[in-house]
Structure 1
Amino acid sequence: MALKHAVLAALLGGEYSGYQLAKGFDIGVANFWHALPQQLYTELAKLEKDGLVAGREVVQESRPNKRVFRVTDAGLAELEAFAAAVCKPSVIRDNLLVKVQAADGIDTAPVIEQLEERAAAAEAKIELLDAFLRQMRGEADEEEFLLRGRGVGGYLTALRGRAFEQGHRDWCLRAAAVLKERRKARAER
């Protein structure tokens, strides 16, 4: 997947400035695609040049003017072509997993610490995603929102992000507990 597809998908909800797009990436899109704000601004310029988004300047009285962008028909066609293309399953590439794999031959104290840090970070992300999901669905319960709500794609990807973070947290905590028990058992010998 190219960054352009993630940007086009994020812009489907309406017109957004680069700043608004970056904020949306922080919570919603970051579950499946990471991009720095500067990368987003660069990508918006490319997409506009290619006719996949249209930008316009918004005059603001108390702030500097800003540019907002929306997806064009060509951008929508690009997203449809991307959606129709077969994609490969994702794979995990994580240095922490390599460290855990090496647990039988190394001092695991720093690995345990890193696992616990990752679990805490995942927990914080779960809380952010839960708040984001509540905000998206408003007064509707989840099933009603999924059936009739606006922005179901973003909601579903946030659900996937939450499930990923929950699984990651749970695995990190279990791996840390196992490694602690093994250290304890080794020390008692």
Structure 2
Amino acid sequence: MALRNAVMAALLEGEASGYDLAKGFEASVANFWMATPQQLYRELERMEGEGLVSARVVEQERRPNKRLFSLTDAGLEVLRAYVADVPAKPTAIRDELMVKVQCVDIGDADAVRTAITERRERSAAKLARYERMRDRMLAGRGEDEYLATADRIGPYLTLQGGMAFERGILQWAQTALEHLERRSAGR
């Protein structure tokens, strides 16, 4: 998946500046796509050149002018075609922590346990943030009611995927730490 598809998906929420998009990326698509602000700005420039987004300048006092981006009809058509395409194979995991865990038997098990603990803490924090996002989306409604009545359910469904991913990391980390602790105690 190209970054531009994730940017266009984020712009479905409405017009946004590059700065707002970078901040909003964390809140809207970070559970399935990561990008730096620099990557987003470069991609917005390319997309504008291709006619997929348009920008308007908003003059501000005491601050630099900002550009607000929105999807063009051409961008919406490209996004529709992307959605209709058969998905590519899922992304392969490339995780340095997993390489270290693979080598734990020949290395510093304490360092690996520390790294797993840090990953667990980051995942717990992300899951808590996702749960707050879910609560804001639901706004007091039950999930079934939300899914039946919301204008757009895609953001909610991807949020659920991100939550499931973080829960999986938390479960794996707990199990891995327990096994490493048992082996350490048995030696």
Q: Tell me the TM-score normalized by structure 1.
A: 0.92
Instruction: State the AA in 1 paired with 2:182.
Output: E
Q: Tell me the equivalent position of 1:110.
A: 111
1:108 Cα deviation (Å)? Answer: 1.1
1:107 Cα deviation (Å)? Answer: 3.0
Instruction: State the AA in 1 paired with 2:45.
Output: A
Counterpart-to-counterpart distance in 1, 2:19 and 2:140: 27
SS of equivalent residue, structure 1 residue 55 = strand
Q: Tell me the TM-score normalized by structure 2.
A: 0.93
Aligned residues: 186
Counterpart-to-counterpart distance in 2, 1:5 and 1:72: 13
Counterpart-to-counterpart distance in 2, 1:76 and 1:44: 15
Instruction: State the AA in 1 paired with 2:174.
Output: L
Q: Is the aligned partner of 1:168 residue 2:169?
A: yes
Alignment of 1:1-189 (within 5 A): 1-61=1-61, 63-86=63-86, 87-186=88-187
Counterpart-to-counterpart distance in 1, 2:127 and 2:149: 24
1:137 Cα deviation (Å)? Answer: 2.3
Deviation digits for residues 137-172 of structure 1 (CA, Å, limit 9, x no counterpart): 223222211222134211111111111011101101
Instruction: State the AA in 2 paired with 1:49.
Output: G
Counterpart-to-counterpart distance in 1, 2:80 and 2:135: 29
Aligned residues: CA RMSD:
1.5
Counterpart-to-counterpart distance in 2, 1:111 and 1:146: 41
1:49 Cα deviation (Å)? Answer: 1.0
Q: Is the CA contact (8 Å cut-off) linking 1:137 and 1:149 kept in structure 2? A: no
Percent identity, please. Answer: 48
1:59 Cα deviation (Å)? Answer: 2.8
Q: Which runs of 5+ in 1 are unaligned?
A: none
Deviation digits for residues 74-126 of structure 1 (CA, Å, limit 9, x no counterpart): 11111122112221122211121122222333331110111011001100001
Which aligned runs of 4 or more in structure 1 are off by greater than 3 angstroms? 60-64
Counterpart-to-counterpart distance in 2, 1:151 and 1:38: 28
